[in-house]
Amino acid sequence: MTAPASRAAVQAAPARSAALGGFADGPLIALVIGAVILWFAPSGMGRYGTYVLSLWLVMAIAVMGLNLTLGYAGLKSLAQAAFMGIGAYITALLTTKTGISWYAAFAISGIVTFAVGLLLGFPALRVKAHYLAFVTLAFSTLVWLVMRNEQWLTGGVFGLSNIPRPSLFGFKLDGALAFHRFVVVVTFLLAVLLWWMIRSPWGRAFTALRENPIRAASLGIDTRMYTLLAFAIGSAYAGFAGALYAPLVEFIDPSPFSLSQSFFLLLMVVAGGAGYLLGPFIGALLGVVLPEWLRFAGSLYLIIFAAIVMLLLIACPQGMSGLIERGWAWITGRNKAGGSR
């Protein structure tokens, strides 16, 4: 009796990620609408405003990967910023030192971080719960020390500068608006890929792995393989984010890829809503755009930001996506009730 019920629950898992739209393709439609809005949004915002929007999308890509690892597969990782740094440094080194195109560097960043994530995922097969977080914490610290101390390779605290932006059909994407629209397209494609993955048998297997690994194994799911895939794919998304971050800022040093940044990315997942497709965008919006809006408060803006986040987590344990989902359910329920009268 238990196994069929579990099987039904596993098969129904993707419905939760679609609840924001009220129907199966709701999140995809939201992604399309959001991409169109962001394509035109920078008009009149100025160079810095456009940069903030682009940074938000880049961070959303990294949070997407962590959301897959934590929100869907239930695996705690504190190395997302380290993987982002690996992708950024690979892109910066290849494009500045070898003259390789950004597109090749982007692909290599994803492949390398996928492979490293696959190797790092092996300890996840032996350790559970918070012990896994310690493994990724140690890895994050190691990567940051290499970035900071191996000056011959990474430039150390002086970093790497003059990172070129990509070209498209022979046109250099040097302008803030042109590069922003390029980031919008790349983010949209990666988000659609993740949407497809979540709705596939892979997504159901990841969710089953999070809910109950023993029952997942009893249903014939290869828990070892999907644990490794969750780490590797989530790491690759961080590598892709790093590959976009490097040309966006045109200069990188170790500071944006420290352990504290990994915690900040984790906060974005939780605040946006772990296990929701649109959660990374909401979480990155709170983590990147909200602090910019609060700068009018001067030196108090960090205190106000921390207070807002704490209140949000207390009031919305499932994050903003969970709050929106409950609100949508309440609205549709009231409409149905009104229609029945």
Inter-residue contact 304 to 297 (CB < 8 Å): yes
Q: Tell me the backbone φ, ψ of residue 109, rounded to 5 degrees.
A: -60, -45
What average pLDDT does the segment 82-95 reach?
97
Asked whether residue 298 is domain-assigned, the answer is no
Residue type, 177: L
Judged against a pLDDT cut of 50, whether residue 191 lies above it is answered with yes
Distance (Å, whole) CA 314 – CA 202? 32
Confidence (pLDDT) at 21 = 38
- If one compares 122 and 88, the residue with the highest pLDDT of the two is 88
How many beta carbons lie within 10 A of that of residue 58, not counting itself?
A: 26
What average pLDDT does the segment 255-275 reach?
93
Confidence (pLDDT) at 234 = 95
Least confident interval from 58-72, 193-207, 270-284, 319-333: 319-333
Confidence (pLDDT) at 43 = 78
Distance (Å, whole) CA 333 – CA 89? 50
Token pair listed for 106: 């982007």
The pLDDT tens digits of the residues spanning 279-297 come to: 999 999 999 988 888 877 7
Distance (Å, whole) CA 258 – CA 249? 17
Judged against a pLDDT cut of 60, whether residue 4 lies above it is answered with no
Asked whether residue 57 is domain-assigned, the answer is yes
Confidence (pLDDT) at 16 = 45
Instruction: Report how many domains make up the chain.
Output: 1
Asked whether residue 62 is domain-assigned, the answer is yes
Judged against a pLDDT cut of 60, whether residue 22 lies above it is answered with no
Q: Report the candidate in 60, 76, 311, 86 with the shortest Cα–Cα distance to residue 186.
A: 60
What average pLDDT does the segment 206-212 reach?
80
Confidence (pLDDT) at 285 = 93
Token pair listed for 53: 């929007």
Judged against a pLDDT cut of 80, whether residue 109 lies above it is answered with yes
Average predicted confidence (pLDDT) for the chain? 85
Confidence (pLDDT) at 206 = 83
What average pLDDT does the segment 153-157 reach?
93
Asked whether residue 150 is domain-assigned, the answer is yes
Residue type, 169: F
Confidence (pLDDT) at 158 = 94
Per-residue pLDDT band at 7 (split at 50, 70, 90): very low
Cβ within 8 Å of residue 272, ≥6 positions away: 63, 67, 278, 279, 280, 281, 282, 283, 284, 285, 286, 319, 320, 321
Which residues in 148-175 are b (16+ Cβ under 10 Å) and which e?
A: beeeeebbeeebbeebbbbeeeeeebee
Confidence (pLDDT) at 279 = 92
Asked whether residue 135 is domain-assigned, the answer is yes
- If one compares 26 and 104, the residue with the highest pLDDT of the two is 104
Asked whether residue 51 is domain-assigned, the answer is yes
Judged against a pLDDT cut of 50, whether residue 11 lies above it is answered with no
Instruction: Supply the range of the domain harboring residue 115.
Output: 25-258
Q: Tell me the backbone φ, ψ of residue 23, rounded to 5 degrees.
A: -155, 170
Confidence (pLDDT) at 3 = 41
Asked whether residue 341 is domain-assigned, the answer is no
Judged against a pLDDT cut of 70, whether residue 203 lies above it is answered with yes
The pLDDT tens digits of the residues spanning 123-146 come to: 767 766 677 788 899 999 999 999
Per-residue pLDDT band at 235 (split at 50, 70, 90): very high
What are the DSSP calls for 200-238, one per residue?
Answer: SHHHHHHHHHHH-HHHHHHTT--HHHHHHHHHHHHHHHH
Asked whether residue 273 is domain-assigned, the answer is no
Distance (Å, whole) CA 237 – CA 167? 22
**Percent over 90 (pLDDT), the chain:** 52
Inter-residue contact 91 to 105 (CB < 8 Å): yes
